[in-house]
């Protein structure tokens, strides 16, 4: 009788232990999948990285790309772009990271353009192995723009003046408190021209086109996806699923691969919202002085 009771007790304890381990494992999986680490289970996968909105900083996107490049289970990266472009430096950093993934990690990167992938958005897209655009996608806008406000006349009317002491004639270039001098304008135009040349060179190099042909359309003009295909700025017409299927094919998948992407937070607090607004509108990188922009206006 005691032996039978021990056996039953052993089954009960074993059952509780099994259930504990089961729920513990499910809990760990749930925690992993709920974080912004893009955890998507075991097996080979395709990672999706989104470039959305104006490009003011590159850190988050570059970090994502590096993480997925170092992940052995990720066999390819799908870059979804829906952006008018942004500041030159961050656009170049994201572009260079895409090139690094392809060359050093030998992982394919396929680009899917959303409604808009213009200027800096196209600069980044050109780094991919293959570019898909919707027929109505707006892309192109190969060019550079620099804008800044001038409030001198307004300040003069209300009796406010700023005293500037500087070490050189163009040290305060881009100041909103003065009208630009001829020397200021010449210097800024040289910087714009050089950034424009870099853009043209990159597109010609990445797309295998002649520099002279790119110069003909590099006046800031915007194109539909269908027009861009005729100009060889993109490789095929299609949406996100077309790009995903193509990437799965060239990555060697025999069946539908798992998708790996950071999960968006749905429980954003008021502090998160205020922080994002501050980052976008008050960040020194985007507000102090004029910025060279690969940006579609």
Enumerate the active-site residues: 119, 171
How far apart CA 145 and CA 143 sit, in angstroms, is: 7
Structure tokens of 243? 């790009």
Residues 95/58, Cβ–Cβ less than 8 Å: no
**How many Cβ atoms sit within 10 Å of the Cβ of residue 235?**
18
Rounded to 5 degrees, φ, ψ at 186 are -65, -45
Residues 120/280, Cβ–Cβ less than 8 Å: no
Which residues touch 139 (CB under 8 Å, ≥6 apart)? 113, 116, 117, 118, 121, 122, 125, 133, 222, 223, 224, 225, 228, 233, 234
Structure tokens of 211? 């520099």
> Strands 109-118, 130-133: parallel, antiparallel or unpaired by DSSP?
parallel
Residues 83/52, Cβ–Cβ less than 8 Å: yes
Residue with tokens 């004639």: 169
* CA nearest neighbour of 228 among 87, 118, 94: 118
Residue 161: left (phi > 0), alpha (psi -120 to 50), or beta? beta
* CA nearest neighbour of 257 among 269, 245, 266: 245
Structure tokens of 214? 């790119």
Residues 139/113, Cβ–Cβ less than 8 Å: yes
């Amino acid at each position: 009788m005691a032996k039978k009771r021990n056996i039953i007790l052993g089954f009960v304890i074993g059952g509780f232990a099994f259930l504990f381990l089961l729920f513990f494992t499910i809990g760990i999986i749930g925690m992993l999948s709920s974080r912004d680490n893009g955890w998507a289970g075991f097996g080979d996968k395709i990672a999706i990285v989104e470039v959305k909105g104006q490009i003011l900083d590159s850190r988050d996107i570059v970090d994502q790309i590096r993480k997925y490049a170092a992940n052995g289970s990720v066999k390819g990266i799908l870059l979804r772009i829906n952006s008018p472009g942004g500041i030159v430096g961050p656009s170049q950093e994201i572009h260079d990271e895409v090139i690094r993934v392809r060359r050093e990690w030998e992982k394919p990167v396929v680009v899917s353009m959303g409604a808009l992938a213009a200027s800096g958005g196209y600069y980044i897209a050109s780094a991919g192995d293959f570019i898909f655009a919707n027929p109505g996608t707006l892309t192109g806008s190969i060019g550079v723009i620099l804008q800044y406000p001038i409030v001198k006349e307004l300040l003069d009317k209300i009796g406010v003046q700023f005293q500037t002491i500087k070490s050189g004639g163009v040290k305060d270039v881009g100041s909103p408190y003065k009208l630009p001098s001829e020397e200021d304008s010449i210097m800024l135009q040289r910087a714009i021209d050089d950034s424009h040349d870099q853009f043209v060179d990159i597109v010609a190099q990445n797309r295998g086109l002649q520099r002279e042909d790119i110069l003909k359309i590099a006046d800031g003009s915007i194109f539909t996806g269908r027009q861009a295909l005729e100009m060889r700025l993109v490789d095929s017409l299609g949406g996100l699923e077309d790009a995903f299927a193509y990437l799965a094919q060239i990555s060697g998948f025999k069946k539908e691969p798992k998708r790996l992407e950071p999960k968006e937070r749905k429980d954003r607090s008021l502090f998160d919202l205020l922080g994002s607004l501050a980052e976008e509108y008050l960040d020194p990188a985007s507000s102090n002085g004029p910025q060279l922009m690969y940006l579609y206006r």
